[in-house]
Amino acid sequence: MKRARGKHSTGAVDHHDTIEAALADALAGYGVTLTPRASGRFERFDTPDKPKGNGNGWYRIHGPQAASFGIWHLDVSEVVTLHGASDPEAAAQARLDAMRDRERQERERQQQAAKTADEARRWWADAGPGDPAHPWLAGKRLPPYNLRQRGEMLLVPLYFEGELVNLERIFPDGSKRPLKGGRVKGVASLIGRLAGAERVLVAEGWSTAAALHEAMGCPVVVARNADNLAPVARRLRQRLPDEVGITICGDDDRHLPAQGLANKGRVAARHAALAIDATLLMPSFCARCETCTDFADTRLCWLGGGRGQPYAYLA
């Protein structure tokens, strides 16, 4: 990531009417395009050289005359003023303030996650077993396995380092949401038992994992989404004895490339498998079916409940 323009803090600069415009211009020098908000607080932004959601940049508009910004991984912190005056001391102070603000946010996030984990454990203790007649389960033709139920919500227990930290709620219409403010990164659920297993599978969603567990009998770890596959696979590899094989069972988001997007499921599954030298298993699709993307879908087709006819549900 290179600066495209000269430093604003060193002498002659373009004239700007507002501090927002001056800041936007300075940020553009780092390839960052945004419309600054004069909130008086620290605002975060993504830098273009890191993955989406990186939040590696920050800025703050102090008043109509001055703003500061920084980029953590480039060790950049600068003060922007309407008149382009340089002030290294103010830049250093702004960086320190930004660091404190980041630490405060992290503490708040952890406190909220701890509160949500308590709530998750209460809900889990109070919940009944999953009802096999729940509309979502019935539609998927799957038994509840490790799910519990609270009202009409199915609950998927989510663990981190052996502790229940969050719950994924599955609503009758199939929408899924974890509890608000709870930990989501690296969390996983388990269908079956790890003890004594010769092979453990890892899949994205609960229904995919349940379909695989039913067909193959081995324990299946639910990573919840594509981004979580690799972190979950790494933790599992560390935890399991070397002789236990791990297979990453991917989703095939084959509809995405037609929209100009990457096949996220396939890419993430391959990445996770490479990261821990695991076997990779992808679904093979049905004849006359363009809707299946995962093993739960192909199983449904195989059972006659879907639209196509699978060549083989699982070879």
Q: How far apart are the first and last CA of the chain?
A: 47
Q: How far is the CB of 70 from Zn ion (least distance, A)?
A: 50
Nearest 5°: the CA angle 187, 231, 296 is: 70
Q: How far is the CB of 213 from Zn ion (least distance, A)?
A: 20
33 vs 309, which CB is nearer to Zn ion?
309
User: Could you tell me how many residues of this chain bind Zn ion (CB under 5 A)?
Assistant: 6
Sequence-distant (6+) residues with CB within 8 A of 214 are 142, 143, 299
182 vs 283, which CB is nearer to Zn ion?
283
Binding mask 288-307 for Zn ion (x = CB under 5 A): -x--x--------x----x-
Binding mask 87-116 for Zn ion (x = CB under 5 A): ------------------------------
DSSP 98-121: HHHHHHHHHHHHHHHHHHHHHHHH
190 and 146 Cβ atoms separated by less than 8 Å: yes
Distance between CA 59 and CA 75 in Å, rounded? Answer: 14
200 vs 301, which CB is nearer to Zn ion?
301
Q: How far is the CB of 290 from Zn ion (least distance, A)?
A: 8
* 308 in contact with Zn ion (CB under 5 A): yes
Element (H, E) at 166: strand 163-170
Binding mask 165-184 for Zn ion (x = CB under 5 A): --------------------
DSSP 132-150: TT-HHHHHHT---TT-EEE
Q: Is 302 helix (H, G, I), strand (E, B) or coil?
A: helix
* 70 in contact with Zn ion (CB under 5 A): no
DSSP label of 255: T
Q: How far is the CB of 307 from Zn ion (least distance, A)?
A: 6
117 vs 292, which CB is nearer to Zn ion?
292
Binding to Zn ion, residues 267-286 (CB under 5 A): 286
157 vs 308, which CB is nearer to Zn ion?
308
Report which residue type is found at 14.
Answer: D
Residues contributing to the site for Zn ion (CB under 5 A): 286, 289, 292, 301, 306, 308
